């Protein structure tokens, strides 16, 4: 599977599933690298706000 195929499959998921996947990915990356948990939390909140805006249009 190419990264493009993976991206297409993720984008085809419902928005709530994308948010869950992003949250899990950020938690995983936070354990194995230097991602600040506060930054990850902000990214998740911004993604959720964006999705609420998109879904309400």
- Give every CB contact of residue 30 below 8 A, 6+ residues apart in sequence: 37, 40
Scanning the structure block, which residue is given the tokens 């993720």? Answer: 10
Residue located via tokens 């984008």: 11
Compute the distance between CA of residue 35 and CA of residue 52 in angstroms, rounded to an integer.
25
pLDDT tens digits for 16-33? 898 888 888 878 876 766
pLDDT in tens, 29-52: 767 666 677 877 888 888 888 888
* Whole-structure pTM value: 0.49
Nearest-angstrom CA–CA distance, 15 and 12: 9
15-24: b or e for each residue (b if 16 or more CB lie within 10 Å)? eeeebeebbe
């Amino acid at each position: 599977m190419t990264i493009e195929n993976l991206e297409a499959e993720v984008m085809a998921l419902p928005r709530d599933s994308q948010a869950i996947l992003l949250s899990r990915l950020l938690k995983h990356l936070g354990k194995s690298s230097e991602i600040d948990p506060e930054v990850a939390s902000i990214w998740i909140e911004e993604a959720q706000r964006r999705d609420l805006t998109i879904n309400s249009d």
